[in-house]
Amino acid sequence: MKLAPLVLLTVVTLGSPVRGEVKCTTDGQVTDCQSPQNLAPTQPVGCVTLGETTAAMTPPDLALSVLSCRDQGRLRDQTELFTLLMMRGYFDAYRVTDATAHQALTVLRMQLGERLGAKDDQALMADLQRLIADKESEGLKDFCARLLALPLPDYEPVYMIEHGMNAVIGTADTAPVKEVDAMAVWKSVVSVGLQCPKAD
């Protein structure tokens, strides 16, 4: 039988589930498996500003916050939180040793887009372009500086670890997260990802 990609948990499922058994269902020749914490948020965040975020907020947590800001009509907060979500996802991909888990961010982004709907997703992307299009703008310089000044993520990236094949097939992984120079990785992720202007 062919082992299909994971069946993904919705990004709006709240709660802090404990690690549990992987559950699989078979339909014909395809077996779909779910790991309990795959893409699962850890806390209900609500709409916050970038400065109100904490080091414990995971990308799935921030996805909830993006949706909450959309509901409150706070587009710029939505845009900044979405960017933080992506930057933390890239940061986590540096840390998680199971390469098959790295697609978690892509899937989370797709699910968030579906939850936003085409119109609101397009509005989000348009505002992001306005924010980052001019690579020499003071607005982008300020945004990059605020991102770089945030506390480094201090959560275990379980949402990503549990997305990988190691979690599905039960491969023993005593070190699912590798040690990295967190500050250097964060600076690289933000600076390269947003093409931040060089500081004066």
84 within 8 A of 148, measured Cβ to Cβ: no
Whether the predicted model's global pTM rises above the 0.85 cut: no
Domain boundaries, the chain: 2-194
In contact, 157 and 76? CB cutoff 8 Å: no
Q: Is residue 14 a contact partner of residue 46, using CB atoms and an 8 Å limit? A: no
pLDDT digits (tens, 9 = 90+) for 83-128: 999 999 999 999 988 888 888 888 899 999 999 999 999 999 999 9
- Mean pLDDT, the chain cut into blocks of 10 residues (200 residues total): 35 36 58 57 88 95 95 97 96 88 87 94 95 85 95 90 67 68 94 84
